[in-house]
Structure 1
């Protein structure tokens, strides 16, 4: 009898549930509604995917973005779970067919865009289904207090009411304040839900706020140190995204861009390039990322400060979804405050402005605190018991040097006051340095007592102090196109001598470490990444759907050279073991032999080609079934269609049989001429990598043909 535990291992490759998962699953299976607040990467999707396999009927998953649905369905299909999606990318006929197949029991999970709920035709069709559960992903979208309100989410409760019998309703979100949680319960009409908050803490994420003099230079330096890693750079405006992307590409850091002003076809291509690892860096506005299930993002850099802690944590949380160490860096300057105030003034209705300005103030406080950054975020979301120091953020890993700048601040404030609080940073700095410009003379500012009183300071230093005073709310920048400096009540206290001003700088402690991962063999990691990339290309899915980076690193640390040991690796389930396992164990065996890496004594399979190798691996039942169909006269495509497998998987089955001495006709894979060409290419390119061999051959020769020739030559 199937249990949640057995399904977790079979389909997802894990031996144990993560914190909170089993509790949520048990309550769902008991027929209770659920509200689960779990951090990104905590495995929310497993909480509804496993119950869906145990329920009699179908599970409807409300998901906000098309890209997320496709990735989830691809991942489930690779794991051996039948799923489909319904959204605007499908024709009406195709949508009807999906729901009809769900009615007939073909699909256990159907992902649905919330906008579909507003159409009468869809409501009629879904009313025919035996729905056991409705799972609501990104449930904060139902609340106007949330950072990504979607009106169509308010139709979910209406949809569940129309079903013949009310299903279990399970709501999931990663970021929700107590107010938003109340909205979710009320607006989704959850019935006495089991509420679980596993906490917002993402221990694998390193947080840091930097205040660089030149953000672009700081970013280029950061990317130089993180070459080859996948990451997102968020900017607040489309113009900044475009110019920054151009600068990165011109500086040798290939990047793609994403914002709402880019044609849809280009946006889709850029997103695919990033997801499929064809480009490592995505520069984007906040239009990008929600629903992106890419697990191996190593860093998220915010080039500009977001408008709220909710937005920041949601966007930063796209890093490290596979559980590996990742960095969340925020570049902060006073001009970010001006930009965000402008966006709030011009983008929100009057009733929302006060709330949004308060959220902006909280974000500014985060950027200026000298306390633990993680603790600040967790307390913002209501975790009052958060540790005061996490030892994994920029503030905890730095010592703070304090410099008194009271005198400089008084000079700047006095100059602003004497200029009538009508000018911006550049003009104020010019007067303080004693600039001899026509405008200064025409305005008679050269006669002010503050004219030239900071001539020993550079304009850049004065601007930096002004930015600090704005950030610490001694000064305000008002106006949109040409912001002017204004004094706040705090500034007047400083001018009267009642308050001192200090600027604090974080100095990184020696040995402070903000990154890391499972200790792994980097050379082998790159070999396995290439295999994964090729398989992803052949299967038509993103690489992380095959195996995550975290799973590959576990392989590189443990050197599993047979199926039994590979199955012990977290993230390797039985379905993926059958489909892809042989390719990875073979690569690891070859690498171990070439580099004289000791093989554990309990491994049952030796390294191919060794005279004293042990018995070959057993041929599993699924391979035997493919081989039986081959013997009955079916070709690879016919076997794949009959068994519901990818042709690549059937090829692997038959090659595994060949390695075990079972005869397989060469004509199934390759012609005599193709075999000759492949053999010549192998002599030129070597056996270590398939891609150079493939590139040296005509396009008509497949990877399967190459693998057959290599397998045959190894046996000989």
Structure 2
């Protein structure tokens, strides 16, 4: 063993207690110690921090580590200090320090006591800090989370683009190491160009994380699914990501009232609160952190067992980095994302006010998230393809939902040929959405503008449908027949492979994409446990019982229990009055009035069919909602107009009607005569009452059809349905 190598291993052992390096760490560290620029692309959990910490400890002078998050800095400084004998070995310099603390940091650095100085890019560019750093000996500069440099990265920070000019002021020959866990080929090029590191040695590890299981679920009842899932992972740590602070608070509160120790984490909380939350998670005082994307960057908790995306993230890089916080110790890691097209629409709306170039980039990045969520192809293959890495899905070993539950395959030779020929004919000038519109024959401003509605291909694929053509185009990209030009609006270009296929086609099978609105094909018991699927036989029996009781009481069936309540009973099998109270749309009053016979029927059914009931079937609502309920009831008792009640709670008129309907459906009687009599004449009220008395169902659409949309508004019928349910059902 050479002297340099022996020194490297001695220091690895004495500082960190390890006797061998992970992956490319040894080569990376040797490259930095040789004074070379170094670019490291390494997945989360691969040991990036070691790549700059060890050479910093071995070099003369201080290494500057540029990092985007204060929480990340504190965590890493604590780690390095734990290895050293003196706290001055590592410091951070950011806005959280007072003047006295800043002076102490600068003193330690200038005196050569500090080996690692963590700095935010904003702090780095301050003239007084550049002056101070010029007095210190700088060993090298590490740019952590380097993807923040690129507008194509998921976490673009304009301050990161100024880093190169600051480094130049610290000395022409200062070596740079740039590190990232998530970078597409496009982002990698941006980083090298911006940092002027074209001659850097590049170390690129595989993005594959064999121990992570990837799954996307339709967002039907996420709170219930999440609670059930976490209770099945008893004692294991996890992170739930939401896109808004409000949703973070709501989900954390819901988990707590359902017996799960959870804390919220977002930028709206003060720094002390965030630091305390992070420490409680690390010390296992809480099981779950519900967070915006601010949480987790560089957090060294190796045993996070699940990462749940309550909302789909804005980019595949963000998704990859956040899921990468699971299973960093090589143990199990479950990555579950809930997908709803409405969430994607919201994200697209947020981009409307941004500059054109930023909006176009954001739209393309978001499309990749949709492609991933709706695709039936191996999740791992899609992720790795996005990062420029080829992968044979056979190696996934059923570690994603699509491999575990394969979708329907179809012969795609003719469809693929049609797509490739059309792209060639249109000179590779259009994106996926436009091509699909041509094939299914949909007139849009674009198809009309380019007269593509006159092409012989227009409507040629109407019979196959949009889902088929999306499947073909996405899998043509995944299988390298096509290349998506990210620099140019995501236009689809033929690869050499695609061009040769046109000349010599052959049989090929593709998997049909999922329609996430209707996709429930996956056995829900696979991820929900007992009681996860609707029991159609029980539902039929409950409807018969409801009809019988309705006849006895001379009431429409929906007054007893509405359909969603019966469906919930047929999913969760409540066998006690307490459990019945937690069924959707059944409050204490309704449970006491009508629940007895239904509980008896369900009890007998469960015993006869030996059904293993899930014990965690009820999701208790948060105190906030019960506070709303009390507020609304009190204000109706005081005869306050509904518009005023809505305004005081920041609700729309439709939302206040929905809240009131929920209260009444659950068994609480409300007197709305003071409000209804003011706006609806008595004879019109009687007509609607007569309709609901004889109606089989409580559908507003059916009522509008029967009574006439010109005579009644939807809101009027909703109000009268509420009054009817309150008087006759409660």
TM-score, normalised to structure 2, is 0.55
Match of 2:267 in 1: 260
Which structure has more relative contact order (CA 8 Å, sep 6+)? It is: 1
Q: Give CA-to-partner distance per residue, 1:641-685, whole Å, 9 cap, x none.
A: xxxxxxxxxxxxxxxxxxxxxxxxxxxxxxxxxxxxxxxxxxxxx
Cα offsets for 1:275-300 (capped at 9, x unmatched): 33221111122232334333321110
Distance 1:263 1:499, change over 3 A: closer
Which of 51, 66, 91 pairs up with 2:70?
66
Which residue of the other structure, out of 8, 12, 15, is the alignment partner of 1:8? Answer: 12
Contact 2:305 / 2:334 at 8 angstroms: preserved in 1? yes
Which consecutive residues of structure 1, in runs of 5 or more, have no partner in the other structure?
405-469, 479-488, 513-716
On the 8 A contact 2:28/2:51 being kept in 1, the answer is yes
Matched, 1:50 2:57: no
State the distance in 1 between where 2:313 and 2:523 align: 24
In the TM superposition, 1:65-214 aligns within 5 A as: 65-80=69-84, 82-164=89-171, 166-190=173-197, 192-211=199-218, 213-214=220-221
CA deviations 1:51-88 (Å, max 9, x no partner) are 11221222111111111111111111111262122111
Runs of 4+ displaced beyond 6 Å: 473-476, 489-495, 497-502, 508-512
Displacement of 1:189: 2.1
SS of structure 2 residue aligned to 1:216: helix
Residue of structure 2 aligned with 1:324, choices 320, 323, 331: 331
Q: Residues 359 and 164 (structure 1 numbering): CA distance in 2 closer, same or farther, change over 3 Å?
A: closer
Match of 1:298 in 2: 305
Bigger drift between 349-358 and 494-503 goes to 494-503
Partner of 2:361: 355
SS of corresponding position for 1:345: coil
Q: Deviations over 1:253-278 (max 9, x none)?
A: 12111223445554443333323322
Q: Is the 8 A contact 1:11 1:79 kept in 2?
A: yes
Secondary structure of the 1:45 match is helix
The TM-score normalised by the length of structure 1 is: 0.56
Aligned pairs for 1:376-391 within 5 A: 376-385=382-391, 387-391=393-397
Shift of 1:388: 4.9
Is the 1:38–1:198 Cα contact (8 Å) retained in structure 2?
yes
Instruction: Give the whole-Å Cα distance in 2 for the aligned partners of 1:508 and 1:202.
Output: 26
Distance 1:96 1:300 in 2: 40
Contact 1:255 1:282 in 2 (8 A): yes
Q: Cα offset for 1:509? A: 12
Confirm or deny: 8 A CA contact 2:66 2:144 kept in the other structure.
yes
Q: Secondary structure at the match of 1:170?
A: strand
SS in 1 for 2:406: strand
Q: Which residue does 2:43 correspond to in 1?
A: 39
Q: How does 1:312-711 map to 2 (within 5 A)?
A: 312-346=319-353, 348-385=354-391, 387-395=393-401, 397-400=403-406, 402=408, 507=522
Alpha-carbon contact 1:40-1:318 (below 8 Å) kept: yes
Return the alpha-carbon distance in structure 1 between the equivalents of residues 115 and 341 of structure 2: 51
| Corresponding residue pairs, total | 433
Q: Distance in 2 between matches of 1:269 and 1:89?
A: 15
**Cα RMSD (Å) of the superposition?**
3.2
Distance 1:474 1:400, change over 3 A: farther
Distance 2:440 2:136 in 1: 61
Contact 1:402 1:505 in 2 (8 A): no
Matches of 1:46 and 1:474 in 2, distance apart? 53
